[in-house]
Amino acid sequence: MRPGFGQFRDATPEYFRFAAQFGATDVLLNNANLPGGERWELQDLVKLRISAEQHGLKLTALENVPTRFYDNIMLGGPKRDQQIENMIYTVRNIARAGIPIFGYNWMPSNVWRTPPALIRGGAVATAFDYSLAKKYPLTHDRVYSEEEMWKYLEYWIKIITPIAEKEGIRLGIHPCDPPVPVLGGIPQLLRSFEAYRRLIEIYPSDSNAIEFCQGTFSEMTDDIYDQIRYFGSRHKILYVHFRNVSGPVPKFREEFINTGYVDMFKAMNIYYEVGFDSFFIDDHVPHTHQDTAWGHRGRAFANGYIQAMIEAVKKQKQAAGEKPGTIKNWTPPYLQKNGRSAAAKSVSRSARR
């Protein structure tokens, strides 16, 4: 378990110095500012990795490409095949540049929020109210069905996963944020525990994994601790967005890392118990007094909290003689009793055909 920094686009010395000075070992860039209107080139990705290494950091992951790179893949548009070729090219180049993880999302309309909220001390946090969002117009040309969106996702996963296996890179999808049924006429597929169980069974592989945004998983109505145990004990969690929220959908606000409804110490203990061996980043942070637009103060606070939590859990567990990874292939009692859902079984059968 390691501290990381992310959520910046530009590989500048300023960002890398900030990450190194505040104790990060790993960094990721979100939607990196690279040349290319349709795909990314190997030489640009290698330069990106080297620029991080020059500051003593490991560029462990890239998160997201521009939506225009693969919107037709998500929506079954006329340029789907061309975009698949370009995404294969990009994923291969990320792997060959020595970057072991690629996280992305399945949100054609990106992240949604409604008007912000004031939290502790007047800090400004993003918020969401589904009753308001339902009134917003369509984001695309029509209303899409959940069935067709799953068909497009399954088609993509079955193509890209064997390529990722061959290249030695792990891919993971971020949950739909917020995790509600539909936004702007687009189904939010990855909005539940069951949806993620379905995803990883489309093509069972270490290269078909999860970009585990704990904040968004906490916005779901499923138990957050069960989800960490289930996916963590199967080594499906590539890295963690370690942030907190006020509660699950349909209405929530983001919080400081230590003021939301999730017990972050309990969560960190579970990551240790399932043998999670990657990094945590702060993700979103509230905007505080005289902070920068990126949130240097907020991120320094959140990252310090993460580092203290990692150290506390490790020392406590080691003092008790508890080794990491004692929980393996954990399943909730209700699933042990009932077995897999019909949807998960159907997906598993189709993946084998």
- Write out pLDDT tens, residues 90-115: 999 999 999 999 999 999 999 999 99
- Write out pLDDT tens, residues 280-323: 999 999 999 999 999 999 999 999 999 999 999 999 999 999 99
Rounded distance between C-alpha atoms, residue 79 and residue 351, angstroms:
24
Counts of helices then strands in the chain (DSSP H, E): 13, 14
What average pLDDT score do residues 55-59 get? Answer: 98
What average pLDDT score do residues 51-70 get? Answer: 98
The pLDDT score that the predictor gives to residue 337 is 74
Q: What is the CATH number of the domain that holds 94?
A: 3.20.20.150
What does the mean pLDDT of the chain come to?
95
Residue 224 binned pLDDT confidence (cut-offs 50, 70, 90): very high
Domain containing residue 252: 2-352
Rounded distance between C-alpha atoms, residue 88 and residue 160, angstroms:
7
Residue 207 CA neighbour count, 13 Å, CB half: 18
Rounded distance between C-alpha atoms, residue 151 and residue 98, angstroms:
31
What the block records as the tokens of 95 is 């792997």
Beta strands in 157-217 (DSSP E): 170-174, 182-183, 186-187, 208-213
The pLDDT score that the predictor gives to residue 344 is 47
pLDDT at position 78 over 50: yes
pLDDT at position 349 over 90: no
The pLDDT score that the predictor gives to residue 4 is 97
The pLDDT score that the predictor gives to residue 342 is 42
The pLDDT score that the predictor gives to residue 38 is 97
What average pLDDT score do residues 34-63 get? Answer: 97
Which of 241, 179, 240, 237 has its CA nearest to residue 209? 237
pLDDT at position 221 over 80: yes
- Write out pLDDT tens, residues 112-128: 999 999 999 999 999 99
Assign 3-state DSSP to the chain and report helix, strand, coil percentages, each to 5.
45, 20, 40
pLDDT at position 23 over 60: yes
Residue 345 binned pLDDT confidence (cut-offs 50, 70, 90): very low
Residue 339 binned pLDDT confidence (cut-offs 50, 70, 90): low
The pLDDT score that the predictor gives to residue 31 is 96
The count of domains in the chain is: 1
The pLDDT score that the predictor gives to residue 336 is 85
